[in-house]
Structure 1
Amino acid sequence: MRPAARNNAEWCDAVCRAHGLAGEFGAGVWSSARRTPPLYPDAVSLTPEASAADLVARIDTTSPGCTVKDSFACLDLEPLGFEVLFEAQWIHRPAGEALVGPPPAVHWEPLRSADSLPAWETAWNDGEAGDGLFRPELLAGDATFLAGTTSEGRIVAGAVASRSDFVVGISNLFAVGEASGGEESAWAGCLTEAARLWPGLPVVGYESGESLDMAVRQGFTAIGPLRIWLRTA
């Protein structure tokens, strides 16, 4: 689980830095002293030994919406004014694992330029124009935006593949409309691209509910729980 947690923290750090926020890795924790962009945590625990008090001391708990990713579901943040927002499972898929089910319904490839990023974000946002959450600076780092496009060039599916030393993390998976083939087809598409781009690396991520069931059908194994805590006090 540690490589998956580290990979996810590195992606969170990249998103923050693209917004001009300097995250910090230290003492078993990644954290941002300033509030992070929407949907991204203010801190991520990297080991089960991480201290709840130390973690919370590193972040801004006074602004609304402060969240913590408890990567090993072992922190008790309730006394510090947090409540559990949701729970999920880390997932792992070995390198070289054969795809399960039908092939992708659309053509998949990495985004080639920042000009395509607004269309990708709009599709990810279920057709509503985004507000620039995903900045062009991200395209120059270790994250690859994968897009599933129709024959007319319309983006109808996608995911972010973030490479680290030992794994590739898949996040922000989406599929919109019948043309996309649905979420199962999106998994097939992004996994095919991940295997092509990084053939020797296993794939990790986290999911819950029906999305977790789909990932398991695509060859992933659930390897441990995590919790997202929201500051409410």
Structure 2
Amino acid sequence: MSVDHRAVIAAYNNADLYEAMFSAHGLAYQRLPFAFVGKDRPLPFYSNLTVLSPDHEAEIIQQINHIAAQFEGVVGLKDSFCQLDLAAHGFDTLFGASWIWRDAGVQTMASHWQPIETQADLALWEEGWKRNESATERRMFTADLLNRDDMFFFGLKTGGEIEAGCIANRSENCIGLSNVFARAASSAAFSQATAAVAAIAPDLPIVGYESGVDLEHARSAGFDTVGDLRILVAKNAAF
């Protein structure tokens, strides 16, 4: 099966985000040539395993088997290239999405979103993210992330609240855009997020993955789809 090399680049960038998040929370992980593997129970909304390279099904299944044994059959994984057939092992598709890519050097509007640089503003950013995007009681974004030179938070602050925001994570050959949220989600908000992220390194492409209406917003902001992925989950994986 042919896979667009841009989708592989995006998957590796996503694993870099995972590495930053796992490290910030003191969670063990392993970077293999074909997968990012969490050795501890992952954070909410994060998978146990993310596929990084196509056509390594035997090695990936071996890793999933180890994870299933460790966590009593409860496994979540990012099938980054829709190549795994795991239905017989108890996996269902949680949702599908598409990898997105925006070439470097594309002209962008000026962004009104500002960098998040203090612990207090990061706490406000997370409150806004939880109100508009993802509900969890766990503190997800720690102050350690502000000290990394490859992680960036942007937000639109009004009236003491962050009403819109996004995360960028920089890899060697691209910048990832993720966790875009806004009180009134729109293509304009996604364009503002894109412009903020593009300013970090205008000579690098921007990558990520989106689904549903957010994917349409990404397309409106100049992104192309370069491959499909899906999140697979099992409550009692068996091999």
TM-score, scaled relative to structure 2: 0.86
What does the per-residue CA deviation read over 1:105-155, in whole Å, with 9 as the maximum and x for residues that have no partner? xx31111112211110110011678531111111122110111123x4531
- Helix, strand or coil at the partner of 2:199: helix
Q: Which residue does the alignment assign to 1:207?
A: 210
Residue segments in structure 1 that go unaligned for 5+ positions in a row: none
Q: Which residue does the alignment assign to 2:96?
A: 87
Q: Which residue does the alignment assign to 1:154?
A: 161
Paired residue type of 2:147: A
Asked if 2 retains the 8 angstrom alpha-carbon contact of 1:41 and 1:67, the reply is: yes
Partner of residue 198 from structure 1, selected from 183, 201, 204: 201
Supply the distance in 2 between the matched residues of 1:5 and 1:213 (Cα, whole angstroms): 20
Partner of residue 216 from structure 1, selected from 194, 215, 219: 219
Q: Which residue does the alignment assign to 1:56?
A: 64
What does the per-residue CA deviation read over 1:13-62, in whole Å, with 9 as the maximum and x for residues that have no partner? 21111111121111411101221010011110001122231230342553
Counterparts in 2 of 1:193 and 1:47: CA distance versus 1, 3 Å: same
Q: Which residue does the alignment assign to 1:117?
A: 122
Structure 1 range deviating more: 48-57 or 190-199: 48-57
Counterparts in 2 of 1:156 and 1:130: CA distance versus 1, 3 Å: farther
Counterparts in 2 of 1:184 and 1:50: CA distance versus 1, 3 Å: same
Q: Which residue does the alignment assign to 1:108?
A: 113
- Superposition RMSD in Å: 2.0
Q: Which residue does the alignment assign to 1:145?
A: 153
Supply the distance in 1 between the matched residues of 2:152 and 2:85 (Cα, whole angstroms): 34
Q: Which residue does the alignment assign to 1:227?
A: 230
Supply the distance in 1 between the matched residues of 2:201 and 2:217 (Cα, whole angstroms): 22
Partner of residue 134 from structure 1, selected from 131, 135, 141: 141
Asked if 2 retains the 8 angstrom alpha-carbon contact of 1:121 and 1:130, the reply is: no
- Is 2:209 aligned against 1:166? no
Asked if 2 retains the 8 angstrom alpha-carbon contact of 1:148 and 1:186, the reply is: no
Supply the distance in 1 between the matched residues of 2:166 and 2:20 (Cα, whole angstroms): 16
Supply the distance in 1 between the matched residues of 2:72 and 2:145 (Cα, whole angstroms): 26
- Is 2:64 aligned against 1:74? no
**Aligned pair count?**
224
Paired residue type of 1:132: R
Counterparts in 2 of 1:41 and 1:55: CA distance versus 1, 3 Å: same
Q: Which residue does the alignment assign to 2:12?
A: 6
Residue segments in structure 2 that go unaligned for 5+ positions in a row: 1-6
TM-score, scaled relative to structure 1: 0.88
The structural deviation recorded for 1:184 is 1.9
Asked if 1 retains the 8 angstrom alpha-carbon contact of 2:128 and 2:161, the reply is: no
Task: Give every structure 1 segment of 4 or more consecutive aligned residues whose post-TM-superposition deviation is greater than 6 Å.
Answer: none
